[in-house]
Structure 1
């Protein structure tokens, strides 16, 4: 999957007892990986997406391609219970009224950056 040896890369460490509950793993790109799992304690399956977002200094085309890929991954493979985690390489501004379900309570207020805004836009489809 990787195209640049020694750079980027995402993955998962899974406890042995949970391995049998994995429904699927998708190495979408060197920056996005997805794990679908049916956790024993939950009725519905979960999707965990691990990301490594381009930095603000990356080419606009690289950043746009990443967020398009993330959005497509969410729409194609994600279950209704989804966790998106990893290195977002971005900062967020003041919390907006519709972001309580996608931003934790301990975020740091910074000047908003375009990259994080794109990430939030990609995630919003899941909660509406």
Structure 2
């Protein structure tokens, strides 16, 4: 079974060696997305603003791979500061609504100006 490499139309190619997503069969893995707009500029200075942009980027990759948030079984979220956890959760719930996928949240260092990164694993029916 061949892999399909996902690069949403109109999105800047990553500056590092990776694909935005990879689909093999009914499995779609979305690479970690950060708060870049389609021109590669950072959107937002707060965790809430960046979380909304990151989830919009995840959604764009999911859709380019034939999936949606409803197909996501797992998110992994990476935050730069434990103090951002509450604000992150509020924005996350605002975008996703209810019936949340499984999620792991860890704290990491990200490049300057970036506060959150999220990757996703989807199983497409």
What TM-score bracket applies, with the shorter chain setting the length? 0.3 to 0.5
- Normalised to the residue count of structure 1, the TM-score between the two structures is 0.38
Structure number, greater radius of gyration: 1
Q: Which has the higher strand share?
A: 2
More relative contact order in 1 or in 2 (CA 8 Å, sep 6+)?
Answer: 2
- Normalised to the residue count of structure 2, the TM-score between the two structures is 0.39
